[in-house]
């Protein structure tokens, strides 16, 4: 008499008799589940304390709004004369609106994700023509300053990257002001700043560098 198959043996026998489409479904189902979870996590707002579009902070009089999931968008924000400020209430929309409202700065290239704000081909201190700003690498001879634009590289849960404004700098750290850090992220975040071998670093693994207006005009927010 033949011994009955164990549970593992039964499972193996069933796998051998799966049809091609069943194999495909079995292999893709976990991937689809992960993608569905990611889509929900980046588009929905699980934070019941805030609503999308609610002002939660400001930097030098420029409002910072809550956006919920990092991939949430609420239409394109245009100035009265049609300058593209970006998709509400993404991180890019805040930094572009900040420079527009505070300095009347219009970026020559009005489109692009956060990751596109940093040109990897430029030398340290070169002119980023698309943004109309100087660009410094993380590891620059030039120290970051208040009002600089910090660019973060993409990562697993945000393939578009991130941008923020330096709110303040002291001897050993800096604070950024940001929009759309995620439903439970904070509008302000601090990172250490260090100098090594004559070069300045923002101590965060995803910081690519920072941009700066070459000759900042007078602050115009007080006159608006």
Window from 18-27, 95-104, 132-141 with minimum mean pLDDT:
18-27
Taking 50 as the threshold, does the pLDDT of residue 32 lie above it?
A: no
pLDDT at 38 over 90: no
* Position 48 in a domain: no
The predicted structure's pLDDT at residue 144: 98
26 and 105 share one domain: no
Q: 2 lies in a domain? A: no
**158 and 180 assigned to the same domain:** yes
* Domain coverage including residue 27: 7-43
| Lowest-confidence pick of 17-21, 46-50, 80-84 | 17-21
Percent of all residues in the chain with a pLDDT value above 70, rounded to a whole number: 80
Chain-centre distance for alpha carbon 75 = 18
Q: What is the pLDDT of residues 170-213, one digit of tens each?
A: 999 999 999 999 999 999 999 999 999 999 999 999 999 999 99
**Is residue 82 included in any domain, yes or no?**
yes
pLDDT of residue 22: 66
Q: Which of 41-45, 78-82, 105-109 has the lowest mean pLDDT?
A: 41-45
Instruction: Give yes or no: residues 61 and 33 share one domain.
Output: no
What's the half-sphere exposure (Cβ side, CA atoms, 13 Å) at 21? Answer: 0
36 with 68, same domain? no
Q: Are residues 82 and 173 in the same domain?
A: yes
Residue 74 lies in a domain: yes
How far does Cα 38 stand from its chain's mean position? 16
**pLDDT mean across residues, the chain:** 88
For the chain, percent helix, then strand, then coil, each to nearest 5?
Answer: 25, 30, 50
Tell whether 95 and 120 lie within a shared domain.
yes
- The confidence band for 158, taking pLDDT boundaries of 50, 70 and 90, is confident
Asked if residue 94 and residue 29 are part of one domain, the reply reads: no
Whether residues 137 and 203 share a domain: the answer is: yes
Tell whether 1 is covered by a domain.
no
Higher pLDDT, 72 or 222: 72
Is residue 91 a part of any domain in this protein? yes
Q: 110 and 39, same structural domain?
A: no
Strands 188-196 and 199-202: antiparallel
In the chain, how many domains are there? 2
Question: Alpha-carbon distance 146 to 151, whole Å?
Answer: 14
The DSSP secondary-structure symbol of 125 reads T
Q: So what's the pLDDT on residue 96? A: 98
In this structure, are 84 and 13 located in the same domain?
no
Do 124 and 219 belong together in one domain?
A: yes
Please enumerate in sequence order all residues whose Cβ is within 8 A of that of 72, keeping only pairs 6 or more positions apart, or say none: 42, 43, 45, 52, 89, 180
Question: Are residue 134 and residue 177 in the same domain, yes or no?
Answer: yes
Task: Using pLDDT thresholds of 50, 70 and 90, give the confidence band for residue 36.
Answer: very low
Question: Residue 163 — very low, low, confident or very high, per pLDDT cuts 50/70/90?
Answer: very high
The answer to whether position 218 is within a domain reads: yes
What was the pLDDT predicted at 14? 59
Its pTM stands at: 0.81
Q: Is the pLDDT of residue 40 over 80?
A: no
Distances 218 to 99, 103, 113, 137, 177 between C-alpha atoms, Å: 11, 7, 28, 26, 21
Q: What is the pLDDT of residues 111-141, one digit of tens each?
A: 999 999 999 999 999 999 999 999 999 999 9
């Amino acid at each position: 008499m033949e011994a009955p198959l164990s549970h593992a043996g039964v499972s193996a026998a069933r796998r051998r008799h799966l049809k091609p489409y069943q194999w495909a479904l079995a292999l893709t189902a976990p991937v689809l589940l992960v993608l569905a979870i990611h889509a929900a996590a980046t588009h929905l707002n699980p934070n019941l304390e805030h609503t999308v579009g609610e002002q939660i902070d400001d930097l030098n009089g420029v409002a910072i709004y809550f956006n919920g999931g990092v991939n949430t968008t609420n239409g394109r924000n245009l100035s009265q004369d049609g300058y593209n400020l970006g998709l509400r209430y993404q991180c890019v929309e805040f930094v572009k609106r900040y420079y527009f409202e505070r300095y009347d700065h219009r970026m020559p290239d009005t489109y692009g994700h956060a990751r596109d704000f940093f040109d990897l081909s430029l030398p340290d201190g070169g002119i980023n023509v698309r943004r109309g700003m100087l660009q410094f690498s993380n590891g620059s001879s030039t120290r970051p300053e208040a009002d600089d634009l910090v660019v973060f590289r993409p990562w697993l849960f945000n393939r578009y990257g991130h941008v923020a404004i330096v709110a303040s700098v002291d001897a050993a750290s800096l604070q950024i002001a940001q929009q759309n850090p995620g439903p439970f992220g904070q509008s302000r975040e601090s990172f250490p700043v260090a100098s090594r071998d004559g070069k300045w670093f923002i101590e965060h693994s995803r910081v690519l560098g920072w941009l700066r207006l070459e000759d900042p005009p007078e602050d115009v927010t007080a006159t608006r």
